[in-house]
Structure 1
Amino acid sequence: MAVPQRVLDIMRSGDVYLCDDEEMLDAQRAQLELLYDFNATRPGEAGRRATLLQRLLGSLGEGSYVEPPLHANWGCNTFIGARFYANFNLTLVDDGVVTIGDDVMIGPNVTIVTTGHPIRPDLRKAPTVTQYSLPVTIGGGVWIGANVTILPGVTIGENSVIGAGSVVTKDIPANVVAYGNPCHVAREIGEHDDVYYWRDRVINAPFEKPEA
């Protein structure tokens, strides 16, 4: 079943909302059935795997691949560009919108979180269990290392690299290397990276950058 527009509007509003709406729960169950089927595919079922992923996600660009298992609250709120790759155990807490550009690489055990709960305790107790969802945006060409957590409302600029184990609590600009908890900018991507691929290891033929 398609997720009703009313449900999508509630989740994407940025406001506090009740998360036990019956129509919402029914729609989520249908999405979780698709997710289950995707994760149950065999390695040789590439076509079926791709079809299920297209049905599950909001959009998926050409040449993109997600390694099972994938975990997602919804799937339909995640929009992915072309030539995307995610290693195993990508977790999408995507009650809010997740937008991922072209040529993004994600390491294993990465969690992208759009959703939180109010600090006020009565809004986290039955029967008034509420939450809010804020969009996460990841620009084209970004590489996110293993075990990174990205929190609600964060934007990561294009081509940036997020080091393994980082917790990204605020926006990261384009063309930088950032890491840590909380994640912070360590340096810009520059001429050093034209020559060295890791520490003092020189980029070998045929991958050297051509002369300008």
Structure 2
Amino acid sequence: MTSTDSTSLAKFLKKEKDQKVISFAEHNLKGVPIGNDSWQRMVSGMLYNPGDETLKLARLKVRDYQLDYEKFRFRDYTVPKEYSAAKREYLRKFIGHVGDGTFMEHPIYFDYGFNTYLGENFYSNYNLTILDCSIVKIGDNVICGTNVSILTPLHPIEPYLRLTEDEDILESAKPITIGNNCWLCSGCSITANIGNNCVIGANSVVSKDVPDNSLFLGNKVVRTLKETDTKENIERLLREYGYYDSK
């Protein structure tokens, strides 16, 4: 295999498997290829070969699931709740963990699916892309606007390290965690971790970790979010606009 002594590889790649990440996946995600060396290297942030037969077949299989997700029709169900539940159960066939209350608009795109953990009440609008070469863990009550991308893959900077033969491919990946109660607005791209209670503005690019309670616009945190209204005040305002049922 091509030498890995380059500056970019030395900076981004790990030399040992991340047993914590591997253990989380094996205990919390359905369908991961337990014991596969290439998968363990991939989720750990080590150099790995995506041409590994197990990984290649997994990527091909998940594409069929994604295409078939388009076939759901509300007319085939009696009530919206039944329709949503059927779609959620289908997602559980190929996504590692799907929390209760999850609803995803079609289309959706995954590299593997089984490397993704979705918490409760997850919602994504059209065209969500999750390239889950490493583990993507998303907390509860997270909302994604249209065209959101969550991207774990990394590639060498040097062209000669990217332009390799099929049997000698060089890639790596970095796990991403998104906390609870986050809103990822339309068109944003996520390549780093996001804390709890954050809002990521439309078309933002998150390349560095975002702390809890942040309003992130463009490429930086612009404000720390604070609770300025009590629950009672919010409910009163909603009643005034006819959106809150006091019963």
Tell me if both proteins adopt one fold, taking TM over 0.5 as the criterion: yes
Match for 1:34 among 54, 65, 69? 65
Q: Alignment partner of 2:130: what SS?
A: strand
Match for 1:4 among 33, 40, 53? 33
The answer for the alignment partner of 1:21 in structure 2 is 52
Q: 1:6-54: CA deviations, max 9, x gaps?
A: 1531321201111111222112212222222113322446344222201
Q: In the aligned structure 2, how far is the partner of 1:175 from the partner of 1:206?
A: 27
List aligned pairs for 1:26-175, cutoff 5 A: 26-44=57-75, 46=83, 47-127=85-165, 128-151=168-191, 154-175=192-213
Aligned residues: 196
Q: Give the CA deviation at 1:71.
A: 0.9
Extract unaligned runs of 5+ from structure 2: 1-29, 77-82, 231-235, 242-247
| Counterpart AA for 1:171 | D
Q: In the aligned structure 1, how far is the partner of 2:32 from the partner of 2:140?
A: 25
Q: Give the CA deviation at 1:191.
A: 4.9
Q: In the aligned structure 1, how far is the partner of 2:60 from the partner of 2:200?
A: 33
| Contact residue 184 and residue 202 of structure 2 kept, 8 A | yes
Q: Alignment partner of 1:18: what SS?
A: coil
The structure number with the bigger radius of gyration is: 2
TM-score norm. by structure 2 comes to: 0.73
- Indicate the RMSD between aligned Cα atoms, in angstroms: 2.2
Q: In the aligned structure 2, how far is the partner of 1:172 from the partner of 1:84?
A: 20
Q: In the aligned structure 2, how far is the partner of 1:207 from the partner of 1:133?
A: 49
TM-score norm. by structure 1 comes to: 0.85
Q: Give the CA deviation at 1:126.
A: 2.6
Q: In the aligned structure 1, how far is the partner of 2:216 from the partner of 2:157?
A: 28
The answer for the alignment partner of 1:188 in structure 2 is 224
| Contact residue 31 and residue 94 of structure 2 kept, 8 A | no
The answer for the alignment partner of 2:245 in structure 1 is none
Structure richer in strand, relative to its length: 1
Q: Give the CA deviation at 1:122.
A: 2.2
| Counterpart AA for 1:149 | S
Q: Give the CA deviation at 1:2.
A: 4.3
Q: In the aligned structure 2, how far is the partner of 1:207 from the partner of 1:114?
A: 44
Q: In the aligned structure 1, how far is the partner of 2:102 from the partner of 2:89?
A: 12
Percent identity of paired positions between Structure 1 and Structure 2: 35
Q: Alignment partner of 2:171: what SS?
A: strand
The answer for the alignment partner of 1:200 in structure 2 is none
Extract unaligned runs of 5+ from structure 1: 196-202
Q: In the aligned structure 2, how far is the partner of 1:2 from the partner of 1:96?
A: 14
Q: 1:63-116: CA deviations, max 9, x gaps?
A: 111111101111111101001111110001111111000011110000000002
Q: 1:143-173: CA deviations, max 9, x gaps?
A: 110000011xx11110010100100010111
The answer for the alignment partner of 1:199 in structure 2 is none
| Contact residue 119 and residue 138 of structure 2 kept, 8 A | yes
Q: Alignment partner of 1:36: what SS?
A: helix
| Counterpart AA for 1:84 | F
